[in-house]
Amino acid sequence: MKNSIIAQIEKQQAEKVAALNKKQGELIKQPSERTVPAIQVGDTVDVHFWIELGEKGRTQVFNGTVIAIKGEKPDEFITVRRIVQGEGVERIFPLLSPRIARIEVKKTGHVRRAKLYYLRNRVGKATRLKERKKGEATTATRAEKAERAAAR
């Protein structure tokens, strides 16, 4: 009797997991198929990522300023900071994670630092960054520099 009940419960759980995986698979592409926009420190981005709530799942948007980029592809991470009800919130996202549906760059910030940790000590309007003008020269990413060096 117990074994049959346990088997039924396990079967139901397996069906739920399969349904969630199917829904998540429709939403999210494989990392090799994904194109990541050119993100630089100081950009204001919207990160759409998948969260699971019990049996259900949905995408949630985290918008904020990129204050750090760590690592190199495929193990590249971005740290995004935003202010929620007067409290600073930071999240670290792996760029090629299957949980990230997409990343949108809303604004480009003009900064002269690789890490913007000094924004942690600022409040209100002091956290704003100047916007980078279109056509303004930008520094090449590490990957672009490596490609140029390999081409020589």
pLDDT tens for 28-39 read: 555 556 677 888
| Pairwise CA distance, residues 147 & 149, whole Å | 5
Amino acid at 103: I
pLDDT mean over 70-83? 88
pLDDT tens for 35-56 read: 778 888 999 999 999 998 888 8
Mention the CATH class of domain 2-123: mainly beta
Place of tokens 């300023």: 65
- 3 state DSSP class of 121: helix
What pLDDT is recorded for position 66?
Answer: 94
pLDDT mean over 61-80? 90
Per mean pLDDT, which range of 9-13, 22-26, 103-107 is the poorest? 22-26
Domain extents in the chain:
2-123
Please give the structure tokens belonging to residue 46. 């919207």
pLDDT tens for 81-116 read: 998 888 889 999 998 888 898 899 998 889 898 999
| Pairwise CA distance, residues 62 & 78, whole Å | 12
- Among 75, 68, 67, 115, CA closest to 95: 75
Q: Which residues of 35-71 are buried (b: 16+ CB within 10 A; e: fewer)?
A: eeeebbbbbbbebbbbeeeeeebebeeeebbbbbbee
Which helix or strand (DSSP H or E) is residue 150 part of?
helix 142-151
What pLDDT is recorded for position 29?
Answer: 53
